[in-house]
Amino acid sequence: MTRSLVVAPQWIGDAVMTEPLLRRLRARGEALAVGALPWVAPVYRAMPQVDEVIEFPFQHGGLQWRARRAIAQQVQGRFDAAYVLPNSLKSALLPFLASIPRRVGYLGEARVGLLTHRLKNPKDKPPMVAFYSALSGDTQGLEGDRPHLQLPSAQIEAAIAAAGLARGGYYVFAPGAEYGPAKRWPAIHYAELARTLPLPVALLGSGKEAPLCEEIAHEAGAGRCLNLAGKTSLLDAFALIAGAKAAVSNDSGLMHVAAAFGVPQVALFGSSSPRHTPPLNDRATVIWLRDDPAYQPPLDCSPCFERECPLGHTRCLVDIQPERVRALC
């Protein structure tokens, strides 16, 4: 059996999009270990095809040569192949330093000498699942692949019970977006939506998003929202999403998590495009005013892919009314 190391991307949403690749590799008999940063590692613990998760102690920025060399020495001789999913030079260093014989990845950042098997980066942005799955060398059915995450039922029930909730008896809101405010539906809209739903709302996000969630909980009124941002592990947040009646989110990592668990969801897009990173879920509904012929005047500025609205109005999200989302929940 081929022993393979997969070097994971650094963002949760991207990590979810790699699941079909790992499923392909496992199906052809490869034993899989995933090397991932600590905040992404839980995604791979929800993929049954992954045999081992190795947490990389790296930080944002810099080559961190000494740390990469130390991990490379630890894994040297363990793997026959490596799949380097990020396009950066530093992500390709560890498999090279570990002398893994077959090293597969896309060309980028002068990595020619670090990779033994190199794919050209596509000119246009393809769907992320197809982009990652192509690294398997099998191009059949790339467009039809959809990510799937799984957790044991007992683990889901335990997380729900710890939050004082009942399975299917609450909604999940993920109102944050790491990239910036141009991807966030207004807090006041989330609060108004929470007031009109028939069940309580669990607010999920990172510790940095706790003040945003607290604002939503305050505006929604007593007893409407449970602010869990920064108060759960990432795997417990996944479990809460998996057990929810439905999820409402911006274009974010947790949106892709909800899609991979097959939860009914409403995904709100503004400055980014669902043509590139949609929730791959038959039970998902996307609202994107750029594609809505009834919305006037047309939003020619969307998608801008900016962190903050260049025009200062963020109409692409502000003009999505809570009652429209409520009708889809």
**What are 10-43's pLDDT values in tens digits?**
999 999 999 999 999 999 999 999 999 999 999 9
Cα–Cα dist 131/106, whole Å: 10
Average pLDDT over residues 93-116: 92
Q: Answer for the pair 9, 85: CB distance below 8 angstroms, yes or no.
A: yes
Q: In the predicted model, is pLDDT for residue 180 greater than 90?
A: no
Distances (CA, A) of 237 to 123, 228, 255, 310: 36, 9, 12, 33
Q: Answer for the pair 321, 312: CB distance below 8 angstroms, yes or no.
A: no
Cα–Cα dist 37/57, whole Å: 7
Cα–Cα dist 21/136, whole Å: 7
* Predicted pLDDT of residue 61: 67
pLDDT category of residue 65 using cuts at 50, 70 and 90: confident
CA-derived radius of gyration, the chain: 20
Give all strands of the β-sheet with 284-288 in edge-to-edge order: 225-227, 201-203, 171-174, 246-250, 265-269, 284-288
Average pLDDT over residues 118-129: 85
* Contact residues for 192 (Cβ-Cβ < 8 A; gap 6+): 219, 220, 322
Write down the mean pLDDT value for the chain. Answer: 93
Domains and CATH numbers, the chain: 3-144 (3.40.50.2000), 154-326 (3.40.50.2000)
Q: In the predicted model, is pLDDT for residue 141 greater than 70?
A: no
Q: Is 219 left (phi over 0), alpha (psi -120 to 50) or beta?
A: alpha
pLDDT tens-digit series, residues 199-249: 999 999 999 999 999 999 999 999 999 999 999 999 999 999 999 999 999
Average pLDDT over residues 129-155: 89
* DSSP state letters, 36-72: E-TTTHHHHHT-TT--EEEE----SSS--HHHHHHHH
Q: Give 114: exposed, middle or buried? Use CB within 10 Å, 0-12, 13-18, 19+.
A: buried
Cα–Cα dist 175/301, whole Å: 23
Phi, psi at residue 260, to the nearest 5°? -70, -25
How many CA atoms within 13 Å lie on the side-chain side of 249?
Answer: 28
pLDDT tens-digit series, residues 238-297: 999 999 999 999 999 999 999 999 999 999 999 999 988 899 999 999 999 999 988 988
Average pLDDT over residues 82-105: 95
Cα–Cα dist 226/167, whole Å: 15
What is the dihedral sign for C-alpha 50, 60, 17, 101?
negative
How many CA atoms within 13 Å lie on the side-chain side of 251?
Answer: 24
**Of the spans 139-148, 179-188, 253-262, 270-279, which averages the highest pLDDT?**
253-262
The closest alpha carbon to 59, from 69, 67, 51, belongs to 67
Q: In the predicted model, is pLDDT for residue 142 greater than 70?
A: no
Tell me whether the omega of the peptide bond preceding residue 303 falls within 30 degrees of 0, making it cis.
yes
Q: In the predicted model, is pLDDT for residue 60 greater than 80?
A: no
Tell me which long-range contacts 77-80 makes (C-beta under 8 A, separation of at least 24): 78/3, 78/5, 78/33, 79/3, 79/4, 79/5, 79/33, 80/2, 80/3, 80/4
| Relative orientation angle of helices 234-242 and 253-260, to the nearest 10 degrees | 50
pTM to 2 decimal places: 0.94
Q: Answer for the pair 23, 49: CB distance below 8 angstroms, yes or no.
A: yes
Residue 61 or residue 193, greater confidence: 193
Q: Answer for the pair 35, 56: CB distance below 8 angstroms, yes or no.
A: yes
* Predicted pLDDT of residue 274: 92
